[in-house]
Structure 1
Amino acid sequence: MLHGFTSSGAGWTDALRRWTPRFRIVAPDARGHGRSQRFTDQELTEPDFAVMTRDAAKVIQDLADNSPQQPLVVVGHSMGARVALHATEDHADRVSALVLEDPVWHLDYPSQPIKRYEAIVGEQVSATSVEHEFQRLREQHPSLPPEQLWEASLAGSQTDPGLAARVAAPERDWRTSLNMLDVPTLLLASDGGSVDNKQLAAVNRLNPTIQTTIIPNAGHSIRADNPDAYYRAVETFIERQLN
């Protein structure tokens, strides 16, 4: 399970609680996030997602090697969905199914440089701003575990400022990756998220085997905004692929 920008593996706490009885869950902190190592100066010069894609691919490879008889499902949100797509593309023979939750894609210029949104990260985060963020998230997502909301509030302070400050072009054109993808895939969009109708049309045109589902009453964080619909869609898809 691969998280989004300025999040961490602890952001999956609700999913861990729900799925741990059935699945072995691996939810790493991406490079430059949570408790993972920071980017080196050299790594910050690489195309966006390149280092994180290699990291995720290594996790996929290790899991597949250690449990070769077990199906492997890769789930990603936002930045993590983009990383999940590329890492799965590199190890399609190891992955049984792929779930992409509202990946951040550019349509007209899929390889254009990415300018990070103005999130407070690193040493700029204060105790007051963390507390304010916690209160905001608790009001917005009252069903999420308090410890998950607290970890989400802290995640900005754990994000590498070097990653947040830079402008870098994505590693690959997502349209090429989708066109070549040969792994059962569920793409979750919402009525208020990043993936719009033009992108959904492009996905359906590029690779009609990809299942697309639009979750209502949700924004970019579909799982947090409409958990019942999110889990229903993901669990139905996974059960279909693994049975």
Structure 2
Amino acid sequence: MAKKFISINENKLAYTDQGSGLPVVLLHGFCGSGAYWDQVVPALSEKYRVIAPDQRGHGDSDAPEDPYTMEAMAEDVAQLLRTLKVEKAVVLGHSLGGYVALAFAERYPKKLKAFGLIHSASFPDDEQGKTNRTKNMNLIREKGLNPFIEGLIPKLFAPEHVESMPDEVEKALKIGKATKRDGAIRTLAGMRARPDRTAVLKGSKVPVLLVAGEKDQIVAPDKTFHVNKPNMHKFLLEEAGHMSMYEAPERLLEAMRLFLDEKVQA
């Protein structure tokens, strides 16, 4: 699927737009890109309009110099939807994308048909998490992006999948290394500064999809599933780590379809 581009404050934002019907926005994780969803989009776009941007600093999008707060990244999504004349959408975010989806839900509740967190959570970084973000920012400044990516990507997969899925790991490494160096540093700063958005999750009126990987070493399932409400629809992927779009794409697709077909469209 060919990339398209829009301009936001003279910076280009890349995205793909495939299919027709209810718009579904897929937001990738940190040091990912819209290509993370390549095994999901073709099947999902048979019934839905699937929009998958490269978030600022990632993939083929530019890396603007302004702060990469979750609110700013949510504004990028809002600007993309305005440009595409999409009034309401489902916004599903993986990891970092989930943080952006929550910021979008807080800021633009009337633009949402539903939203979802995929291997993500509403909590802010704890003190250790903030310290780790700072260390990683310094590592990238001192050593460049590649050593950081080579350390990060294997941790995103369930341990056994690092051995059994070398092609998928290699794809994620390649995508990660295409991230802009300054984009990665600014995104780390934005994630470090993000607020607690548990109140957004608890206060949500629209259907919410929550997907967790049983073997996720980054965001444990109990952190994704900590809010219990009738509009929360939870899926635990037993065979997945943090990267179900690679580790268990058919199961992730099943969760998405069930949610969209039965909870959002119903």
TM-score by length of 1: 0.75
Name the structure 2 match of 1:92. Answer: 109
Tell me whether 1:26 sits opposite 2:48 in the alignment. no
Tell me if structure 1 keeps the 8 A contact 2:215–2:239. yes
Tell me by how many angstroms 1:95 deviates. Answer: 1.6
> Any idea what the Cα deviations from partners look like across 1:205-227, whole Å, max 9, x if unmatched?
xx453122211111111232222
AA partner of residue 178 (structure 1):
L
> Any idea what the Cα deviations from partners look like across 1:135-161, whole Å, max 9, x if unmatched?
x9795166x6xxx964x3332232232
Q: For the structure 1 residues 85 and 60, does the alpha-carbon distance in structure 2 shift closer, same or farther, using more than 3 Å as the test?
A: farther
Tell me by how many angstroms 1:179 deviates. Answer: 2.1
Tell me by how many angstroms 1:74 deviates. Answer: 1.4
Aligned pair partner of 1:155 in 162, 166, 175: 175
Measured in 2, the distance between the counterparts of 1:20 and 1:141 equals 27
TM-score by length of 2: 0.69
User: Where in structure 1 are there 5+ consecutive unaligned residues?
Assistant: none
> Any idea what the Cα deviations from partners look like across 1:30-74, whole Å, max 9, x if unmatched?
00101111130x425xxx4232122122224444xx244xx6221
Measured in 1, the distance between the counterparts of 2:252 and 2:207 equals 18
User: Where in structure 2 are there 5+ consecutive unaligned residues?
Assistant: 1-25, 155-160
SS at match of 2:49: coil
AA partner of residue 111 (structure 2):
R
Tell me if structure 2 keeps the 8 A contact 1:217–1:226. yes
Name the structure 1 match of 2:6. Answer: none
Measured in 1, the distance between the counterparts of 2:115 and 2:176 equals 27
Name the structure 2 match of 1:242. Answer: 265
Measured in 2, the distance between the counterparts of 1:108 and 1:26 equals 28
Aligned pair partner of 1:9 in 34, 45, 53: 34
Name the structure 2 match of 1:57. Answer: 78
Aligned pair partner of 2:223 in 199, 214, 223: 199
SS at match of 1:93: helix
Tell me by how many angstroms 1:78 deviates. Answer: 0.7
Tell me if structure 2 keeps the 8 A contact 1:110–1:174. no
Tell me if structure 1 keeps the 8 A contact 2:122–2:198. no
Tell me if structure 2 keeps the 8 A contact 1:121–1:159. no
Tell me by how many angstroms 1:184 deviates. Answer: 0.8
Q: For the structure 1 residues 104 and 180, does the alpha-carbon distance in structure 2 shift closer, same or farther, using more than 3 Å as the test?
A: closer
AA partner of residue 51 (structure 1):
A
Tell me if structure 1 keeps the 8 A contact 2:124–2:194. no
Measured in 2, the distance between the counterparts of 1:198 and 1:12 equals 24
Q: For the structure 1 residues 156 and 224, does the alpha-carbon distance in structure 2 shift closer, same or farther, using more than 3 Å as the test?
A: closer
Tell me whether 1:226 sits opposite 2:258 in the alignment. no
Tell me how large the CA RMSD over aligned residues is.
Answer: 3.4
Tell me whether 1:164 sits opposite 2:184 in the alignment. yes
Name the structure 2 match of 1:82. Answer: 99
Counterparts of 1:127-138 in structure 2, within 5 Å, are none
AA partner of residue 36 (structure 2):
G
